[in-house]
Structure 1
Amino acid sequence: MTAQHTEADGPLIPQPAMTREALRDAVRRLDMRSLAEFDTECHEAFDRAAETGAINPLRFFLIKWATHVAIQRWPARAGALAEAQRLAGDPTVEDKVFRAAMETSSRILAEAQQEIGL
């Protein structure tokens, strides 16, 4: 039997390099349900970059998924974001709850983007 991993122990995995293969492996390990979406968006970003001759589609793709991994590698952070998004999307919650959920979402996204160097 293995010990349950807690937030105090640190992240589930180290933050990977911001490359397609490293991020794909991290998504596969942390959030297998999102792997098909990752692959689809990767192909779309490559196609847009090829069509336009710009690297921005690839850069945006990498930033999005590096941020996703930075969140998912901390279970409590991922859970807090999911709950904040649920509350923010619930039309029946009070304004105070909605604002708190939006603040939580913004804080988590800012922390994750700081981790990836943005």
Structure 2
Amino acid sequence: MPALTPDALRAAVEQLTPSRMPVFVRDLVDATTSAQQAQSLAPLRTFVHTWGVFVAIQRYPSRAARLRHLEEVVSGGVEDPADAITEIRKIHVEAEAEAGL
């Protein structure tokens, strides 16, 4: 797991999911702008948390694929989403712990 810094997270996103780089950069710019305007580090903390969890999940392709499947179940509206939501929460909790959040 990389350090929870914008540079380390950027390198991880570039390696794991290069297609997500435009979103990463946009989120970083938005967080930096919000932090400056609000004179608060909260937007940057949220950015690091969000992308730290994302990287922790993406580091394991099977876990990332499982999460995508569960999100499809929830958004599909065909099946009862309760079990899928529970498992999504579990994946996120595990990723947060792995990232040290």
Work out whether the TM-score is over 0.5: yes
Instruction: Find the counterpart in structure 1 of residue 95 from structure 2.
Output: 112
- Deviation of the 1:100 alpha carbon: 1.4
Counterparts of 2:5 and 2:92 in 1: how far apart (Å)? 20
Q: For structure 1, list consecutive stretches of 5 or more residues without a partner in the other structure.
A: 1-14
Selected match of 2:59 from 61, 73, 78? 73
Counterparts of 1:29 and 1:39 in 2: how far apart (Å)? 14
Selected match of 1:101 from 69, 72, 84? 84
- Deviation of the 1:89 alpha carbon: 0.6
- Deviation of the 1:99 alpha carbon: 1.3
Moved over 4 A (4+): none
Bigger share in helix: 2
Selected match of 2:16 from 30, 41, 59? 30
The amino acid of 2:86's aligned partner reads E
Instruction: Find the counterpart in structure 2 of residue 16 from structure 1.
Output: 2
Which has the larger Rg?
Answer: 1
TM-score, scaled to structure 1: 0.83
Instruction: Find the counterpart in structure 2 of residue 59 from structure 1.
Output: 45
Identity of aligned residues (%): 34
Q: For structure 2, list consecutive stretches of 5 or more residues without a partner in the other structure.
A: none
- Deviation of the 1:37 alpha carbon: 0.2
Selected match of 2:28 from 33, 42, 56? 42
Counterparts of 2:77 and 2:91 in 1: how far apart (Å)? 22
TM-score, scaled to structure 2: 0.97
The amino acid of 2:48's aligned partner reads L
